[in-house]
Structure 1
């Protein structure tokens, strides 16, 4: 019986050698089986970095651009393919390190349904559950499971209740011997955090546009 030899990995090529459109198409095709694998395990997710590493290794097409600036376009193409097949959006299974979906997720949902979700992360939670059910995920509870929001958030802190001052009794003496207090050390004021600028998306392919304002994929 002949031994089955694994196919050699493709020689690495920079995205500039194949073109952004061709690279994005190849990445989207390579991303689908990775996301299908996640859909086959209940509550399984794929991080942006994990998907980026897998699809670049599979295709041999590499890029040095930050993952967050281009992964949304790839996931958008995956989502469009799911719509054509009548499937739940596999793109909902890919999230950031903080658990949120890509910047282009809401746009892909709008293309599919005509309605832009007000809360993309809440929509993605329901879509992930639909994926687990559609792909009959291992570990899926008999009742069909429940949606799980993965985006982290910090609830606003409630102000501590103020203790009312003790009521004074008329005629009672409130005079106390005053004790000199030490001057409080000046508090260090933290420098203001720089304001985060919203990510600008290309209106054609919904990937993040660099500071030049020119989309690397369309222009």
Structure 2
């Protein structure tokens, strides 16, 4: 059995910018304080809502270090660290780890339209080379590839692959994943509107965009 990184609602936090295009750290602190005051269960940094595609590596690292220091261990910090290049994904994972991340949210390789065998190779390589647990992020509407339940079954056997943020919109596939993986794999809803059905199947919570407005 693998313990979940969090249970409940983790916010996929937005990254605030100033008019000149730089990260607004004063506003970032206000957002972090709001979520801590409202007892958000986990903080997800630099994901899609956090403008990950447009952050420089320097901005990425500074946001993580700043936020980890501010949160100071009060809730888990999960940092998005995916890329369609396995080597670059590992680089981001290692930066996030060194900056204090509690876990890594790793999106499937996008644009490449990799095979299920390729997905297994990608995630296994990353899990073999990082220290923090990995949460897979499956969002085929954005990436062009969908992770199959049978692939989760294989990946769930790796001690460093903790679960998935599932945003494929297919509740039947979630049920199949639960059946194949059991308590060895933690499932989080990646779509706010599917949180309840995923919880009913044994999911642990949601990584939420809406929580930016209502923690």
Same fold (TM over 0.5): no
- Determine which structure has the larger strand proportion and give its number: 2
TM-score normalised per structure 2: 0.31
- Determine which structure has the larger helix proportion and give its number: 2
TM-score normalised per structure 1: 0.31
